[in-house]
Homo-oligomer: A and B are copies of this chain.
């Protein structure tokens, strides 16, 4: 198993209670009562759906941006960060056919993706998982997993709203938003 592989399974089990599932663009995902987030090697058999992705190297961030991000960002799983959101995204073939400099120009110069994310730090923590280069047939290209305290949810909503108006989001073919809650005092592990 790839040690950087994470599995998100919607079904009857899991640390998180699913509050809402919104199909932002394209096909929805089924509803389920719980979300299970693990680094397990096998695919949970009794899940309604299973999404998997790998934490990888950064694709766009430059040295200066990386230094700023590292200095401001917090780790996932803080005790009071009981709100989590999973956002699976699929981008278009047009996006993947662009060269690196073209994608970077859209991502940051035109869309301020990194700068927008920076504005939500340190309140919103995140981890990005890549699915496009898994050997398996993956329905999404990315899974982004966020957490924050309930009282900081406006900061997260603003980030989401701003990103969805960007040039980069013109290349998003499918997006689902899964909002979940962890009972305070329980572990996210």
* A-to-B contact residues, CB < 8 Å: 1-3, 5, 52, 54, 56-63, 65-66, 96-102, 104, 130, 132-138
Determine the distance from Cα of A131 to Cα of B52 in the docked complex, in whole angstroms.
Answer: 16
Are A100 and B2 in contact, CB atoms less than 8 angstroms apart? no
* Chain B positions within 8 Å of A133 at CB level: 2, 54, 56, 130, 132-134
Are B2 and A134 in contact, CB atoms less than 8 angstroms apart? yes
Main secondary structure of the interface of A (DSSP, over half): loop
Of B2, B101, B135, the contact of A52 (CB 8 Å cutoff): B135
Determine the distance from Cα of A97 to Cα of B59 in the docked complex, in whole angstroms.
Answer: 11
Are B99 and A58 in contact, CB atoms less than 8 angstroms apart? yes
* Chain B positions within 8 Å of A130 at CB level: 133
Are A99 and B66 in contact, CB atoms less than 8 angstroms apart? yes
* Chain B positions within 8 Å of A136 at CB level: 1-2, 135
Determine the distance from Cα of A61 to Cα of B104 in the docked complex, in whole angstroms.
Answer: 12
* Chain B positions within 8 Å of A59 at CB level: 59, 100
Provided the pairs A65-B99, A96-B57 are in contact, do residues A134 and B132 lie with their beta carbons within 8 angstroms? no
Determine the distance from Cα of A144 to Cα of B101 in the docked complex, in whole angstroms.
Answer: 23
